[in-house]
Chains A and B, each alone.
Chain A
């Protein structure tokens, strides 16, 4: 509803920046009528995460708003509404359809378009670009009919596009004109290192290649002829050779333009016509186009401020970036090419591990002005803070990039000034955070809510927490380490209370030490502690509602609500008869089978009501539960050892089986994995496990607190040349000490990182028994071993426990939403589309 006095604001383009502008304008509660004209067939979506479309995200998932939301805000939003003309005198814009809109203020947020080099033959059907959802649909469709794909352009977006082609299963090439990859962000060495890594991943990189023409190919659809006489055949060509501002409207309405394009703006983001603003990738500020989203957001904020009489201007933006390209970490900060006169450079190059780091400092060696990081960006956040906030560097600046041999000079929150930017997505400074805390915020969550800090890319989460904790502590607020709102204790404290006071049920614990009813955080934590301390059957009536659903149903819930079944295969040793039984059971119940990394076999797709019958068959055949669903010992991986192997020096299989049988059933703060290798060739990869054992001529070397997975950690060598008995004694003590003292869901690797005194302290406690608790730890472990029972065996023998294993209390029907289709001769869950098509899906039958 436009009242005649209301200011009419028209926004052309509804990309990420245009949308941010609308959001900010609504937040400002400025009295105006807003019209949004989107040139695309939909409203704003997240272009930054466009590639996740190939990983299964839908247009809906990527959407940043909906027509309903805009409607609620009173915004008149049109899609497929391309503006073709601006009449600045009449203050009217005209759509291609002829429809017109009057404005008092006009905002151009028309973004940019991909540049396609003028190569003869570039307009053929499988020559594509990478910018919109429609582009992605075209790439998907073309990939399905292609074997080879080439990306033209080895910049940031080009490499992202290459990854998409690779994931689509194409033989992938990157063709770059410059001598190196990511020439804008990286130096030659960094580009080379990145190239090596990317080539290792199977993408072929061709630098210094200028494409002359695209003609019909012999083996593939096309042939690209290069100026040096070489050629490359491909079925699909994806151009990612840079962007150009979508500035036609500026040009045709005669606004001031940059020499090489872009609509010129001032610090208020006004164009040469003060009633017209330009923001985002179509705008040229100080002769630059910013091709990142954060500067665009900053422009949107500045324009809103100016329109609504608020404060704030756009004063340039930092173009530093950190990203992961095909799993390779890459970071670039400030003056990466050391172009500042007199700039000095430190480099660290670790070729074997593929790590390259360069630090650029000013001539006086006091400030960080740039950096390049390839292969390891763990220093990025700290370096960026140094650079952005001009913090004085340590005496030896190189310590900032050298691998931490002990003390890494991490940047404490107190080293930052109040003006220091903590969150660059939402432009939140340390001062803003202090204000929020003074205004009553008392947790990271509160501060996030009040300032939006860390709600964008999330890269500053750790720093934000640091600042908040430090500020709260300064105000005498004790930072709560409570496990949740129901208990004002850490997991370690709860463990102590349960053990010392002999508490055996959750209700008792809650009555004595907690409030409320408990929740999905404290209940499983308490359940796990009860199991570690008393080792009761996990499904006893009193414990059962405490368990995580995985523990309740003794299986891992999968995305469709079915479960996986993982019987224990101690040490990875299995008889042919047992293999056959697994196969028979899988066949009978039509389960998907897969070999795991822990040397056992997963059976997927069991419905809740099938679990007891399946396990009955498995238990009858001599299998036990593998605790794959529990925070407990998972597997002990082993190599064949001295029994078969020419190199083995000890019997690693027997040791692995003994260890697995000893520790199976131990409930711990998180899952625990072991491995035993029969010689130093280390085929079982024990140094990446929580407990690793490696045979020597004289016995066993024990490694502790390693991890693979998300955050790999090389295990620490704990003790050498141990005999069998001492080995077990040390492992007993280490594991029990971990179980007693770690936080909830803390793996041994993180526990070790946080353990005051580290490895040396743990050695004192375990080897020298410095706390005098060695015997107690061993006795506790012995109790767990002695009271072990296979939970599945106990469950199938108990009619009461079996009551839980049904989908419906009042019907024998099965869950109609669980449907499978066949892929590579096995079942997999049907996708939503497949379910609704109703054709391919296999209806579930009761077996």
Chain B
């Protein structure tokens, strides 16, 4: 185990771009962490997001299976268990101030999907 302070995030190559599903999520396992990855295509072009797959309220690894959408201009996923909304860009829960999930940087390079964690 590395000490918390000396840990530097790294980019992980997780899958091919075609493994993603437009306007929906898939999940990747990076080390012990489950990461939900979303590809959002709308009028503003294509965006990629990655957040933790763990639903802290339902306490299950399910966020990638939620419905994505927008609420008040924020791009969100709704937990498939109890329907709270998490902002994909930041991981904040819109319904509960005291709840959030990790958000991770994503990029696509030569059709490979990379997550920084």
User: Is A239 part of the contact surface with B, judged by Cβ < 8 Å?
Assistant: no
| Known contacts A518-B70, A519-B70, A809-B15; is-contact A545 B60 (Cβ 8 Å) | no
Point out which of A486, A520, A553, A817 has the most chain B C-beta atoms below 10 A from its C-beta: A520
User: Is B40 part of the contact surface with A, judged by Cβ < 8 Å?
Assistant: yes
Q: Which chain B residues in 64-113 approach chain A with CB under 8 Å?
A: 65-73, 75-76, 78, 80-81, 83, 85
User: Is B28 part of the contact surface with A, judged by Cβ < 8 Å?
Assistant: yes
The answer to whether B75 touches A517 (Cβ under 8 A) is yes
Cβ 8 A contact of B65, one of A557, A560, A809, A811:
A557
The answer to whether B26 touches A809 (Cβ under 8 A) is yes
The answer to whether A520 touches B59 (Cβ under 8 A) is no
A843 to chain B, nearest CB (A): 16
Q: How many angstroms from the CA of A550 to the CA of B81 in the assembled complex?
A: 10
Measured between beta carbons, the chain B residues less than 8 angstroms from A608 are 65
The answer to whether A808 touches B67 (Cβ under 8 A) is no
User: Is A544 part of the contact surface with B, judged by Cβ < 8 Å?
Assistant: yes
Cβ 8 A contact of B67, one of A524, A560, A809:
A524
B22 to chain A, nearest CB (A): 7
A719 to chain B, nearest CB (A): 39
Q: How many angstroms from the CA of A559 to the CA of B58 in the assembled complex?
A: 7
Chain A binding surface SS class? loop
Q: How many angstroms from the CA of A582 to the CA of B72 in the assembled complex?
A: 47
User: Is B14 part of the contact surface with A, judged by Cβ < 8 Å?
Assistant: yes
Q: How many angstroms from the CA of A516 to the CA of B26 in the assembled complex?
A: 22
Measured between beta carbons, the chain A residues less than 8 angstroms from B40 are 517
Measured between beta carbons, the chain B residues less than 8 angstroms from A557 are 62, 65, 80-81
Measured between beta carbons, the chain A residues less than 8 angstroms from B76 are 519
The answer to whether B60 touches A817 (Cβ under 8 A) is yes
The answer to whether B67 touches A561 (Cβ under 8 A) is no
The answer to whether B81 touches A559 (Cβ under 8 A) is yes
Q: How many angstroms from the CA of A809 to the CA of B28 in the assembled complex?
A: 5
Nearest B residue to A552 via CB reads B65
The answer to whether A809 touches B14 (Cβ under 8 A) is yes
Measured between beta carbons, the chain B residues less than 8 angstroms from A516 are 69-70, 73
Cβ 8 A contact of A807, one of B15, B19, B27, B42:
B27
The answer to whether A549 touches B21 (Cβ under 8 A) is no
The answer to whether A519 touches B78 (Cβ under 8 A) is yes
Nearest B residue to A560 via CB reads B60
Contact digits for B39-73, partner A, Cβ 8 Å, 1 yes 0 no: 01010000000000010001111100111111111
B59 to chain A, nearest CB (A): 7
Q: How many angstroms from the CA of A516 to the CA of B19 in the assembled complex?
A: 25
The answer to whether B80 touches A810 (Cβ under 8 A) is no
The answer to whether A559 touches B15 (Cβ under 8 A) is no
A406 to chain B, nearest CB (A): 38
The answer to whether A545 touches B66 (Cβ under 8 A) is no
Measured between beta carbons, the chain A residues less than 8 angstroms from B19 are 803, 809
Cβ 8 A contact of A549, one of B26, B29, B34, B67:
B67
Q: How many angstroms from the CA of A486 to the CA of B42 in the assembled complex?
A: 14
What number of A residues sit within 8 Å (CB to CB) of B?
A: 36
Q: How many angstroms from the CA of A550 to the CA of B83 in the assembled complex?
A: 13
Contact digits for A514-544, partner B, Cβ 8 Å, 1 yes 0 no: 0011111011100000000000000000001
Q: Which chain A residues in 831-847 approach chain B with CB under 8 Å?
A: 832
The answer to whether B60 touches A485 (Cβ under 8 A) is no
User: Is A813 part of the contact surface with B, judged by Cβ < 8 Å?
Assistant: yes
Cβ 8 A contact of B27, one of A519, A522, A808:
A808
The answer to whether B62 touches A561 (Cβ under 8 A) is yes
Measured between beta carbons, the chain A residues less than 8 angstroms from B22 are 545
Contact digits for B4-15, partner A, Cβ 8 Å, 1 yes 0 no: 000000000011
Cβ 8 A contact of A518, one of B15, B69, B73, B81:
B69
Measured between beta carbons, the chain B residues less than 8 angstroms from A560 are 60
The answer to whether B21 touches A804 (Cβ under 8 A) is yes
Measured between beta carbons, the chain A residues less than 8 angstroms from B72 are 485
Measured between beta carbons, the chain B residues less than 8 angstroms from A548 are 67, 80
Measured between beta carbons, the chain A residues less than 8 angstroms from B26 are 809
Contact digits for A61-101, partner B, Cβ 8 Å, 1 yes 0 no: 00000000000000000000000000000000000000000
Cβ 8 A contact of B60, one of A523, A559, A809, A811:
A559
Measured between beta carbons, the chain B residues less than 8 angstroms from A810 are 14-15, 28-29
The answer to whether B27 touches A485 (Cβ under 8 A) is no
| Known contacts A808-B27, A809-B27, A815-B34; is-contact A520 B69 (Cβ 8 Å) | yes
Measured between beta carbons, the chain A residues less than 8 angstroms from B59 are 832
Cβ 8 A contact of B83, one of A520, A547, A553, A561:
A520
Q: How many angstroms from the CA of A485 to the CA of B71 in the assembled complex?
A: 8
Nearest B residue to A829 via CB reads B60
Cβ 8 A contact of A520, one of B24, B27, B66:
B66
Measured between beta carbons, the chain B residues less than 8 angstroms from A523 are 67, 69
Measured between beta carbons, the chain B residues less than 8 angstroms from A519 are 67, 69-71, 76, 78
A607 to chain B, nearest CB (A): 11
Q: How many angstroms from the CA of A131 to the CA of B46 in the assembled complex?
A: 57
A320 to chain B, nearest CB (A): 32
A414 to chain B, nearest CB (A): 33
The answer to whether B70 touches A517 (Cβ under 8 A) is yes
Q: How many angstroms from the CA of A518 to the CA of B73 in the assembled complex?
A: 11
A528 to chain B, nearest CB (A): 13
Q: List 20 other contacts, CB 8 Å, given A803-B19, A807-B61, A810-B14.
A: A517-B23, A517-B75, A519-B71, A520-B85, A544-B21, A545-B24, A547-B67, A548-B80, A549-B80, A553-B65, A559-B60, A561-B60, A561-B61, A561-B65, A803-B21, A808-B28, A809-B14, A810-B29, A813-B29, A818-B61
Some 16 contacts from A to B, beta carbons below 8 A apart, are A517-B23, A519-B67, A524-B67, A545-B24, A549-B80, A557-B62, A559-B58, A561-B61, A561-B81, A608-B65, A804-B21, A807-B61, A808-B27, A809-B20, A809-B27, A810-B14
Which residues on B are within 8 Å of A, measured CB to CB? Answer: 14-15, 19-24, 26-29, 34, 37, 40, 42, 54, 58-62, 65-73, 75-76, 78, 80-81, 83, 85
> Which 4 pairs from chain A and chain B are nearest by CB?
A519-B69, A549-B80, A520-B78, A561-B60
